[in-house]
Amino acid sequence: MTDVFASLRVATVDFDDDFVLLALADGRRTRQPLRWAPALHEADALQRAQWVLTPDGLGVNWPALLPARKEGVVDVPNQVWDDRYEAALARLKSAGWALDALSDVDQHLVALWRMEADINNGGFMQFLCNWGDPTCQLALRALQAMGAVQTHAILAGMRGLLDRLEDDPEIKELTDLYGAMTDEEQAALHAFDEAYFERPEDLARLGLQHFGPEPL
């Protein structure tokens, strides 16, 4: 286990009305909504207290309530990565939504968040049309830096389908791109979307290894 993950091992688990509350080895705190695990939401205090850590200490299971997962019903790196995103987005808001006013790291984090949120919701074209090619290129650079080889290949493949349309005079808006693609290109794009939905890599862990958690 690398140092960054050793520092994220779970120290204590608590609850309030809406969240599982976690204190970690380095003193940081994170939380997961109880609604993500309805059985925990409905459990009483005694049942909630019967938690066990995953072998690496980075996840929490409740075997009496829910089937144990390898990374935990509560997956701490995933939560800490979400916290990293949220902090970058807060800085974006403070900068008046001017992405180029942020540090390079925060620009990469915002691009990755936009990629994950939009492709998971509506596919690559939603991501591209909402944020444009500069954000797509930022996401590609971030994935490459993280060593997310498979996800980078998928995103690059999606973007590559549009190369021949870059100078097409019929393309007035990004939303025109999909209709200008051939049936074969649209089918290839859908295949890339499906490959992305399979989540071939753990972006949270790769991201934390490269960027680290939000500084304390």
Q: Do residues 158 and 191 touch, judged by C-beta distance below 8 A?
A: no
Rounded to 10 degrees, the C-alpha dihedral 32/36/41/46 comes to -60
List the structure tokens of 114. 């936009």
Tens of pLDDT along the chain (216 residues) come to 458 999 999 999 999 999 999 999 999 999 999 999 999 999 999 999 999 999 999 999 999 999 999 999 999 999 999 999 999 999 999 999 999 999 999 999 999 999 999 999 999 999 999 999 999 999 999 999 999 999 999 999 999 999 999 889 989 999 999 999 999 999 999 999 999 999 999 999 999 999 999 998
Rounded-to-integer distance, Cα 29 and Cα 19, Å:
12
Query: Cα dist. 216→22, 52, 121, 157 in Å?
Result: 15, 26, 31, 37
Would you identify the CATH topology of the domain 78-211? A middle domain of Talin 1 (1.20.1420)
Q: Which two tokens stand for residue 82?
A: 């979400």
Could you tell me which residues are beta bridge partners of residue 15? 20
**Alpha-carbon span 104 to 97, nearest angstrom:** 15
Q: What is the CATH number of domain 3-72?
A: 3.30.2020.40
Q: Cα-atom radius of gyration of the chain, to the nearest Å?
A: 20
CA angle 101, 106, 110 (to 5 degrees): 100
| Rounded CA separation 29/83 (Å) | 10
Between CA 9 and CA 30 the distance in angstroms is: 12
Contact present, 91 and 115 (Cβ < 8 Å): no
**Domain limits of the chain?**
3-72, 78-211
Q: Strand runs (DSSP E) across 64-110, as ranges?
A: 74-75
3-class SS of residue 17: coil
Give pTM, 2 decimals: 0.93
pLDDT of residue 114: 98
